[in-house]
Amino acid sequence: MKGIKKMVAGVLVASALINSPPVLWTAANAKVYAASQVTKSTTSNYPINVNGLMTTIHTIQTNGRILVSAKELAQHFSATYTYNKKQKKHYISRKSPKLEMILMQNSETIIVNGKKKTLSIPSKLVKNELYVDATRMSELLGGQLLIDQQVMILSTKGQAETNKSLLTFDGTQKSIRTLSFDKTTLYSIHDLASAFGASVSFNKKNKMITIYEKNKQILLNPFSNTLNVNGKKSKMPSTPVVIKDVPYADLTSIVNALGGDIEGRFIATAGFLKGSNTTPQWVSPSLILVKNEDNSVLKLINIHSRKVVATIPQSDAVVSPDGKYAAYVDDNGLLYTIDLMNGKTKQISDDDDVKVDLIWSKDSKRLYFIQGSNNDVISVVSVDSGVITKLVDDKVKYKSDLLLSPDGTTILYTAAKEAKTTYTDNQNTDVDSIDTAGTDPQLFIVDLTSNNKQPVQLTNSADNKVDSNFVSNNQVIYLSATNDKTSFPSLKMLKGGQEETLLANKNIIDITVSDGTIYVVIEEANGTYTIHSLNPETKKLTQLASTKEMITSLSVSPYNKQIAVTMLSQTGEKVAILENGQFVDITK
């Protein structure tokens, strides 16, 4: 058959081009076919892969050549087949793209859109059905038909192309052989398996393709779109194709079968970290620490490979500015640090008092925290000596949101006065009334260089104050919100005793500061979520990214200003990185 020696093949995504339902090709069909002896006048069902689905087509053999049913072939190209008994002519027509064909039995001539063309072998009429040269007719119909491994492979849109494609496996690019038809591309099973450290064998006798990967065996063959992984079967969107003993298959199906995950052109061979993952903290330009809510542990992830490089059996920890350590308090109130590179832990002191809001000093040598069962003391501890020093002990309860200025000389926190409770009895058991006047949270700062370290109140307004932060050593911002659910929070800044509004009338979801720049997440009126940078001096708001996914928080890298966000997912929250204006998932 003309052109058989120049084989390349492939499949397209399953389409509705076939007018009748396909007959599934099974191993039993293959055995029947292989055992049959087809003669000139005997018809047989031949396996054919049409745009990714296995079916059969009626064929005959004449002079060692295979001819296919003209009517069935036309149907695969969305064309109509008719026969004029009076003229003894066979017609194939299609509206788009326009096509008019005229064929006659026992003739090599075919008229295509008014022009005479030639088939490589005369058409034959068997049992009132016309059979034609499969390869040449497919070409004239606008496609390509090839035969390999006792399977016809038909593309109804143009010719197949072999090529190579660059995919990224765990951060490293690899060249993978591909086989493409139109918009569908199949990938070399050998190349994909090699990237996973797996091996592949192809049994020419039973046409079975086997992938071996650790304790996993994956079976597939060119007669079926069924994938078998250790006995568990699933369907692929297309049937594998074998060309010159090289098997090709659907990329996602093979990656998932090998235990990997794929996003775009990135493949994580060990899969993405799944579940609800929150509170990303930058450890280095390439490492990020996240909290896995499902297991109450911390995971250290390489953002380039998406691999989990370490697991910390704690639910909360704070990364040091130098990225070497994380500090945490255990259930007994004891303070520890853990070396993020080797996993070794160190107990800082024997003090078992309550400790919250851990903050590292800029040189990573001290830890500040709020202490006591009533959260009324602010202390600092030397990581090397374990000596704890009280900085603020003014008996004001329920301090929170502890922060350190960029130069490390000032601490910021939130505190509120207790409500006044009036009782009806002397034993203070029956509450008469509770007066909450003046109990709104307020911001305080403490100059750590002063001798008395007396707290200075910065605000006295009757609003909720959240997400407070230093923009510079003498600039403090916070979100001001009221209990009115219909009003948006406003972003305010305090400087030199003066307060000004930086941003209002926006549904601000989260704010953070990095190197003097404010970063803001906003839910827009159309339901999209946007990230902006805000210049505190000019109040200029610059949009950096937009997404339809719900952003719940953001974290800006102190190394290169790369942005990590948490987004709402089907399993909780996921972590993504903003790269070139697009969000790339780090967890799933």
Mean pLDDT of 240-264: 92
Quick one: pLDDT at residue 197?
95
Mean pLDDT of 222-234: 93
Task: Reply yes or no on whether the pLDDT at 23 is more than 70.
Answer: no
By CB atoms closer than 10 A (0-12, 13-18, 19+), residue 22 is middle
Tokens of residue 409, six digits:
């000389």
Task: Reply yes or no on whether the pLDDT at 412 is more than 60.
Answer: yes
Most confidently modeled range among 313-317, 421-425, 433-437: 313-317
Most confidently modeled range among 445-449, 482-486, 577-581: 445-449
Give the model's confidence band at 419: pLDDT under 50 very low, under 70 low, under 90 confident, else very high.
low
Mean pLDDT of 209-218: 94
Quick one: pLDDT at residue 20?
32
Q: What share of the chain is helix, strand, coil (3-state, %, to 5)?
A: 5, 50, 45
Q: Measure the CA–CA gap between 289 and 310, rounded to whole angstroms.
A: 9
Numbered ranges of CATH 3.30.457.10 in the chain = 4-155, 161-268
Mean pLDDT of 499-524: 96
Give the model's confidence band at 28: pLDDT under 50 very low, under 70 low, under 90 confident, else very high.
very low
Quick one: pLDDT at residue 30?
43
Q: Measure the CA–CA gap between 175 and 296, rounded to whole angstroms.
A: 39
CATH superfamily entry for domain 161-268: Copper amine oxidase-like, N-terminal domain (3.30.457.10)
Task: Reply yes or no on whether the pLDDT at 96 is more than 60.
Answer: yes
Mean pLDDT of 3-11: 32
Torsion over CA of 282, 288, 294 and 295, rounded to 10 degrees?
-100
Task: Reply yes or no on whether the pLDDT at 24 is more than 70.
Answer: no
DSSP, res 447? E
* Residue (of 369, 312, 373) closest to 343 by Cα position: 312
Mean pLDDT of 126-136: 92
Q: Measure the CA–CA gap between 392 and 412, rounded to whole angstroms.
A: 12
Mean pLDDT of 203-209: 88
Quick one: pLDDT at residue 166?
96
pLDDT tens for residues 272-292?
Answer: 999 999 999 999 999 999 999
Quick one: pLDDT at residue 340?
94
Q: Measure the CA–CA gap between 571 and 156, rounded to whole angstroms.
A: 41
Quick one: pLDDT at residue 494?
96
Task: Reply yes or no on whether the pLDDT at 178 is more than 90.
Answer: yes
Give the model's confidence band at 34: pLDDT under 50 very low, under 70 low, under 90 confident, else very high.
very low
Give the model's confidence band at 437: pLDDT under 50 very low, under 70 low, under 90 confident, else very high.
low
Task: Reply yes or no on whether the pLDDT at 582 is more than 60.
Answer: yes
The type of residue at 100 is: E
Quick one: pLDDT at residue 18?
28
Per cent of the chain over pLDDT 90 is: 72
Least reliable range by pLDDT among 145-154, 183-192, 392-401, 410-419: 145-154
Cβ atoms 454, 498 nearer than 8 A: no
Tokens of residue 517, six digits:
């720049």
Give the model's confidence band at 376: pLDDT under 50 very low, under 70 low, under 90 confident, else very high.
very high
Task: Reply yes or no on whether the pLDDT at 169 is more than 90.
Answer: yes
Q: Measure the CA–CA gap between 279 and 138, rounded to whole angstroms.
A: 58
Task: Reply yes or no on whether the pLDDT at 35 is more than 60.
Answer: no
Most confidently modeled range among 143-157, 350-364, 472-486: 350-364
Quick one: pLDDT at residue 6?
32
- Residue 154 β-bridge partners: 50, 145
Least reliable range by pLDDT among 149-163, 450-464, 555-569: 149-163
Quick one: pLDDT at residue 41?
59
Q: Which residue has the higher pLDDT, 8 or 432?
A: 432
Cβ-based neighbours of 116, under 8 Å, separated by 6 or more: 109, 110
| Domain range 4-155, its CATH number among 3.30.457.10, 3.10.20.30, 3.40.50.2300, 3.40.50.1970 | 3.30.457.10
pLDDT tens for residues 304-352?
Answer: 999 999 999 999 999 999 999 999 999 999 999 999 989 999 999 999 9
Give the model's confidence band at 359: pLDDT under 50 very low, under 70 low, under 90 confident, else very high.
very high
Cis status of the peptide bond prior to 247, with omega within 30 of 0: no
Task: Reply yes or no on whether the pLDDT at 555 is more than 90.
Answer: yes
Task: Reply yes or no on whether the pLDDT at 3 is more than 80.
Answer: no
Give the model's confidence band at 517: pLDDT under 50 very low, under 70 low, under 90 confident, else very high.
very high
Give the model's confidence band at 435: pLDDT under 50 very low, under 70 low, under 90 confident, else very high.
low
Mean pLDDT of 475-497: 90
Task: Reply yes or no on whether the pLDDT at 104 is more than 80.
Answer: yes
Q: What does pLDDT average to over the chain? A: 88
